Amino acid sequence: MCSILGLTRPFSEIHRAATGILTAMETSVMALFEETGAYLHGHFRLTSGLHSGEYLQCAKVLAIPAYAERLGQELAQQIKSLLSGKTPQVVIAPAIGGIVIGHEVAKALQARSLFTERDLDTNEMTLRRGFEIKPGESVVVIEDVITTGGSTKEVIRVADSYGVKVQAAGSIIDRSGGRADVGVPRVALQSLRAVAYQPEDCLLCKQGLPLVKPGSRRTEPVS
């Protein structure tokens, strides 16, 4: 049995859909995804543009404040360990998916919580709403899920434009199995090795399965 925040479920039930896909299983984290129905199976277009048969809808887990707080605390601890105990002053997250977990990590670190948004004309990440980073501030980037690391690298470029160097990055889920390189040290609460396809090579497309785009980034209509 495993337990987190009073959640207790049989180990075999938590793993029933994950056999052969997950590595280095952190059962407490995946228990939350199973419990909230956030571990989805089907045919999905990821934010990266890749296709996959698995999707982790972090928003469903983070919708429960107690779960969001716990994940934020755990991720903050990993960030501090990565930085040898040093506490960053600013946490930046990409909207929309990273906002909640970024805020919870910032709260645990007693840091400022900022988020980037996409410009409607250029589709590029930018800081808005009066947010700014002061020269010399220590910064980390937090998001919900990393697949290729593209969103994290975009946020890092925004921070670079303010003349500060991002010290580390973190996420709840790492879909790359540790392979994504964002240019700074990073941590994740759960590392997966989920199969993902280039659209032209997608076996799920070839099977004729309907394609769903569940994320928040603006894309061309799914066809």
Q: How confident is the model at residue 215 (pLDDT cuts 50, 70, 90)?
A: low
Q: How many residues does the chain have?
A: 223
Rounded Cα distance between 122 and 110, Å, is 33
Phi (first) and psi of residue 73, to 5 degrees: -65, -45
Q: How confident is the model at residue 10 (pLDDT cuts 50, 70, 90)?
A: very low
pTM to 2 decimal places:
0.77
The pLDDT of residue 27 = 58
Query: What tens digit of pLDDT does each residue of 22-46 get?
Result: 333 345 888 899 899 998 889 999 8
185: pLDDT strictly greater than 90: yes
195: pLDDT strictly greater than 90: no
11: pLDDT strictly greater than 90: no
Domain range 2-206, CATH class: alpha beta
In the chain, where the domains are located: 2-206
b (16+ CB within 10 A) / e for 98-132: bbbbbbbbbbbbebbbbbbbbeeeeeebebeeebe
The pLDDT of residue 121 = 87
Residue 75 neighbours by CB under 8 Å, 6+ apart: 101, 104, 105, 108, 142, 170, 171, 172, 187, 189
Query: What tens digit of pLDDT does each residue of 42-96 get?
Result: 999 987 888 999 888 999 999 999 999 999 999 999 999 999 999 999 999 999 9
